[in-house]
Amino acid sequence: MPLIYRAMLRDGEKPQIGSEGKMLGVRTPPHRHADVKPDEESMVEPGRGMSVAPHWRDLPYFLIPRRLQHLVPKAKGINNAYCWRMGDGSFEDAVMTEELALRVDSKTHEVVEPTKQMQIDAFQAALAATKDDWEIDEEG
Protein backbone atom coordinates (compact mmCIF):
# COMPACT_ATOMS: atom_id res chain seq x y z
CA MET A 1 0.00 0.00 0.00
CA PRO A 2 1.37 3.46 -0.87
CA LEU A 3 2.65 5.70 1.93
CA ILE A 4 0.19 8.54 2.52
CA TYR A 5 -0.38 11.22 5.17
CA ARG A 6 -3.44 13.13 6.33
CA ALA A 7 -4.19 15.53 9.21
CA MET A 8 -7.10 14.15 11.24
CA LEU A 9 -8.68 14.30 14.66
CA ARG A 10 -8.22 11.42 17.11
CA ASP A 11 -10.74 8.93 18.38
CA GLY A 12 -8.67 7.18 21.04
CA GLU A 13 -5.60 5.82 19.26
CA LYS A 14 -7.14 5.93 15.78
CA PRO A 15 -8.38 8.68 13.45
CA GLN A 16 -11.92 9.93 13.90
CA ILE A 17 -14.30 8.69 11.21
CA GLY A 18 -16.73 11.16 9.70
CA SER A 19 -17.69 13.41 6.83
CA GLU A 20 -16.24 16.67 8.11
CA GLY A 21 -12.78 18.12 7.51
CA LYS A 22 -9.94 16.51 9.47
CA MET A 23 -11.80 13.19 9.67
CA LEU A 24 -11.31 9.86 7.95
CA GLY A 25 -13.88 10.24 5.19
CA VAL A 26 -15.04 12.72 2.58
CA ARG A 27 -17.15 15.86 2.83
CA THR A 28 -20.42 15.70 0.90
CA PRO A 29 -22.96 18.31 -0.17
CA PRO A 30 -24.28 20.56 1.18
CA HIS A 31 -20.82 21.12 2.72
CA ARG A 32 -19.32 24.21 1.10
CA HIS A 33 -16.05 22.35 0.37
CA ALA A 34 -17.52 18.98 -0.64
CA ASP A 35 -14.85 16.47 -1.72
CA VAL A 36 -17.32 14.43 -3.78
CA LYS A 37 -20.63 15.22 -5.42
CA PRO A 38 -22.89 12.16 -5.45
CA ASP A 39 -25.42 12.04 -8.27
CA GLU A 40 -29.19 11.86 -7.75
CA GLU A 41 -28.84 8.13 -6.92
CA SER A 42 -26.10 8.81 -4.31
CA MET A 43 -23.41 7.38 -6.58
CA VAL A 44 -19.81 8.65 -6.71
CA GLU A 45 -17.20 7.93 -9.35
CA PRO A 46 -13.42 7.82 -9.54
CA GLY A 47 -11.82 11.23 -9.95
CA ARG A 48 -12.61 12.84 -6.61
CA GLY A 49 -12.13 11.71 -3.05
CA MET A 50 -10.15 12.16 0.17
CA SER A 51 -7.06 14.37 -0.05
CA VAL A 52 -3.75 13.01 1.22
CA ALA A 53 -0.06 13.90 0.83
CA PRO A 54 3.18 11.95 0.36
CA HIS A 55 4.53 13.32 3.69
CA TRP A 56 2.98 15.30 6.53
CA ARG A 57 5.30 18.20 5.74
CA ASP A 58 3.60 18.37 2.32
CA LEU A 59 0.19 18.99 3.88
CA PRO A 60 -1.11 22.55 3.51
CA TYR A 61 0.36 24.68 6.32
CA PHE A 62 -3.13 25.44 7.65
CA LEU A 63 -3.62 21.71 8.37
CA ILE A 64 -0.29 21.08 10.11
CA PRO A 65 -0.85 21.52 13.87
CA ARG A 66 0.64 24.72 15.34
CA ARG A 67 2.54 22.61 17.90
CA LEU A 68 4.80 21.56 15.00
CA GLN A 69 5.94 25.11 14.22
CA HIS A 70 9.44 24.16 15.41
CA LEU A 71 9.56 21.86 12.34
CA VAL A 72 7.27 23.80 9.95
CA PRO A 73 7.37 27.50 10.90
CA LYS A 74 4.18 28.37 8.93
CA ALA A 75 2.10 25.62 10.61
CA LYS A 76 -1.30 27.10 11.54
CA GLY A 77 -3.53 24.03 12.07
CA ILE A 78 -5.50 23.22 15.20
CA ASN A 79 -3.55 21.43 17.90
CA ASN A 80 -6.15 18.71 18.46
CA ALA A 81 -5.49 17.40 14.92
CA TYR A 82 -2.63 14.98 14.31
CA CYS A 83 -0.58 13.96 11.29
CA TRP A 84 -1.39 10.34 10.46
CA ARG A 85 0.48 7.92 8.20
CA MET A 86 -0.69 4.81 6.38
CA GLY A 87 1.22 2.42 4.14
CA ASP A 88 4.86 2.19 3.13
CA GLY A 89 4.87 1.94 -0.66
CA SER A 90 5.93 4.26 -3.46
CA PHE A 91 4.42 7.64 -4.24
CA GLU A 92 2.51 6.58 -7.35
CA ASP A 93 -0.96 5.72 -8.58
CA ALA A 94 -2.03 2.43 -7.03
CA VAL A 95 -4.97 0.23 -6.14
CA MET A 96 -5.18 0.19 -2.35
CA THR A 97 -8.13 -2.16 -1.78
CA GLU A 98 -10.90 -3.54 -3.97
CA GLU A 99 -12.84 -0.31 -3.37
CA LEU A 100 -10.07 2.31 -3.02
CA ALA A 101 -7.36 3.63 -5.31
CA LEU A 102 -4.71 6.30 -4.91
CA ARG A 103 -4.37 8.87 -7.67
CA VAL A 104 -1.41 11.25 -7.66
CA ASP A 105 -2.36 14.64 -9.07
CA SER A 106 0.75 16.65 -8.11
CA LYS A 107 4.06 16.10 -6.35
CA THR A 108 2.46 17.06 -3.01
CA HIS A 109 -1.17 15.94 -3.37
CA GLU A 110 -2.96 12.66 -3.88
CA VAL A 111 -6.58 11.58 -3.76
CA VAL A 112 -7.96 8.36 -2.32
CA GLU A 113 -10.85 7.70 -4.69
CA PRO A 114 -13.32 4.90 -5.38
CA THR A 115 -12.01 2.28 -7.83
CA LYS A 116 -15.38 2.24 -9.59
CA GLN A 117 -18.78 3.88 -9.39
CA MET A 118 -20.33 3.14 -5.99
CA GLN A 119 -22.80 4.43 -3.44
CA ILE A 120 -21.41 7.26 -1.28
CA ASP A 121 -22.15 5.19 1.85
CA ALA A 122 -20.05 2.32 0.46
CA PHE A 123 -17.19 4.72 -0.31
CA GLN A 124 -17.33 6.21 3.19
CA ALA A 125 -17.38 2.67 4.65
CA ALA A 126 -14.34 1.68 2.55
CA LEU A 127 -12.44 4.72 3.85
CA ALA A 128 -13.51 3.96 7.43
CA ALA A 129 -12.33 0.35 7.02
CA THR A 130 -8.74 1.68 6.80
CA LYS A 131 -8.97 3.11 10.35
CA ASP A 132 -6.71 0.49 11.93
CA ASP A 133 -4.03 1.03 9.26
CA TRP A 134 -3.32 4.65 10.29
CA GLU A 135 -0.76 5.71 12.91
CA ILE A 136 0.38 9.09 14.13
CA ASP A 137 3.69 10.20 12.62
CA GLU A 138 4.91 13.71 13.37
CA GLU A 139 8.63 12.99 13.28
CA GLY A 140 10.94 15.38 11.45
CA separation for the pair 122, 71 (Å, rounded) = 37
**Tens digit of pLDDT at every position of the chain (140 positions):** 899 999 999 999 999 999 999 999 999 999 999 999 999 999 999 999 999 999 999 999 999 999 999 999 999 999 999 999 999 998 899 999 999 999 999 999 999 999 999 999 999 999 999 999 999 999 97
CA separation for the pair 25, 100 (Å, rounded) = 12
In sequence order, what DSSP letters do the residues of 59-96 get, joined into one string?
A: S-TTTSBGGGTTTSTT--B-TTEEEEEE--B-SS-EE-
The structure's pTM equals: 0.95
DSSP-assigned beta bridge partners for residue 65: 77
Tell me what pLDDT residue 12 has: 97
Tell me what pLDDT residue 61 has: 97
Are 72 and 56 in contact, with CB atoms under 8 Å apart? Answer: no
Indicate the domain borders of the chain.
4-136
